[in-house]
Amino acid sequence: MHVPDGFINAPVSLATGAVAAAAVAVALRGARRELGGSVDGSGHGGERTAPLAGLVAAFVFAVQMLNFPVAAGTSGHLLGGALAAILVGPCTGMLCISVVLLMQSVLFADGGLTALGVNITDMAVVTTIVSYGLFRLLVTVLPRRRPSVTAAAFVAALVSVPAAAVAFTGLYALGGTTDVPLGKVFTAMVGVHVLIGIGEAVITALTVGAVIAVRPDLVYGARGLRRPLELRTPDGTVTVPQAAPAPSRSARPVAVAGLVAALALAGFVSYYASTSPDGLEKVAHDKGLDSKEEEHAAKDSPLADYQVKDVGDERISGGLAGVIGVGATLAAGTGVFVVVRKRRSRTAAAPAGTEAL
């Protein structure tokens, strides 16, 4: 659903750019809290979120290269908002997807540069807000067990994709550059993205379930679900034993496994991805939304279209581009979250009554 240049006019593109910038600023502040402590207020878990947040961005980048068929001549790919929000928190997840979209636009000419605000608003802001809001609602009403987290992740991811399609339709209604009836755009976009949402839900649920199975403490959305141990005396008094802090466990094995998986998906499996146009591309071609599409400013980039320039073998070229993309996204994402984490540490260390600059 990467919107290219020319689909949305300049005023609306500028407005969504401002919305995206404001959302990222808010997310940076929220990410300080998410990277610094757990949902349940125990203070445990946050220190393990920071080093994994960059990896989540890299993993989303890799999985987005794997287009899967959803209908005749149409494919879809992961948006990733729900997955990132559930794994590392909604604010941190929003930043993860924003980093991915920036890397894709600048390095790979995927998603317009002037449409970057549109794409961040649609694919990062809308998906994380909708999915995580629904996810929290579901885990509140479902039994407080790990399978409930996986089930809630499935539903949240499923809904987030057509929600993004609705958001795009709204932006098209405000600033679309072609004269296509809004009803046709809405029906086509939502219809195909409901199907894509099923694939998104499966990928999200499988990934969240896999991490929960081995390290539930690393899943932001699963924190605070375990009820504290209660002791009830004969007179009805309930006491909660003071548990000793759990020993810190290294997240390195999970990080290594995640990085290996991302490199394998981007460097090898991506070659077998569907080559059919994705949902937006298909709708744009069928309905004429692409009649005013503009060439990408980075179309001559050495990595444009996820191919390394001057490498003759298509499989090697695409694999190298994928590996480079994973590495660049990991570096950019990790850099952002290290800075956010250090900023929080300085703020927390500032004397009472003062504010770190």
Which pLDDT score is estimated for 240? 55
Least confident of 1-10, 43-52, 88-97: 43-52
Which pLDDT score is estimated for 356? 38
Residue ranges and CATH numbers for the domains of the chain are 10-223+256-345 (1.10.1760.20)
Which pLDDT score is estimated for 248? 62
Average pLDDT, integer, range 336-347: 75
Which pLDDT score is estimated for 132? 98
Average pLDDT, integer, range 266-283: 96
The dihedral built from the CA positions of residue 288, 181, 71 and 265, taken in this order, carries a sign that is: positive
Concatenated DSSP letters of 40-94:
TSS--SHHHHHHHHHHHHHHHHHHHT--EEEETTEEE----HHHHHHHH-HHHHH
Strands (E), 119-264: 231-232, 238-239
Backbone φ, ψ for residue 269 (5° rounding):
-65, -30
Residue 40 has pLDDT above 90, yes or no: no
Q: How far is CA 64 from the centre of its chain?
A: 10
Rounded distance between C-alpha atoms, residue 47 and residue 136, angstroms? 22
Residue 245 has pLDDT above 60, yes or no: no
Residue 345: pLDDT band with limits 50, 70, 90? low
The dihedral built from the CA positions of residue 56, 253, 218 and 49, taken in this order, carries a sign that is: negative
